[in-house]
Amino acid sequence: MRSVEQIAELLRKKGLKLTPQRRLIIDILLHDRTHPTVEEVYKKVLETMPEVSRTTVYNTIREMLNLGEVAEVQDLSDGGIRYDTTGEPHHHFFCVRCRALVDVDLALPPVAESSSELADCVILKQQLTLYGLCPACSELQRQEEKMEQKEEAVSSR
């Protein structure tokens, strides 16, 4: 993603101003690597500017989408669409327990090269999302399973 100043120039070319509200929202998007939802961005905005509406956040994110500075990440949960500010092609890992979404750098061949069904298709974007448990959630699950085994052993006595 570009700097706030570069995005401001793009906005001006489209006849839009860089208001303090837009600047704050863009700054949050620039520095948040968690792939936030509109609601998560809105909550962060409220910490600094409590008068900003959810609609302003939504519209600013839409403007960033139209400029190509933000991309929607496939819908991963009931928490809403998440937004990615990393411009380079990459993949994701989604923890099904804590809902963390992180960028993953995987060297994968283009899909069309590995699938005869897609040989005549024009692939515009390739993005893989791996679903699983992050290390912290994996450890929590192991601990919970150990506790369940102990409880079963005690109850079977």
pLDDT of residue 27: 93
> Tell me: the pLDDT tens digits for 6-40?
988 988 898 988 999 999 999 999 888 889 999 99
Amino acid found at 109? P
Share the mean pLDDT of the chain.
87
H/E element, 145: helix 135-155
Least trusted range by pLDDT, from 19-33, 44-58, 122-136:
122-136
Question: What sign results for the dihedral spanned by CA atoms 70, 64, 74, 127?
Answer: negative
* Region of residue 112 (left: phi > 0; alpha: psi -120 to 50; beta: else): alpha
* Region of residue 99 (left: phi > 0; alpha: psi -120 to 50; beta: else): left
Domains, the chain, in order of start with CATH, read: 4-73 (1.10.10.10), 88-155 (3.30.1490.190)
Nearest CA-CA partner of 39 in 79, 76, 2: 79
Q: What's the pTM? A: 0.76
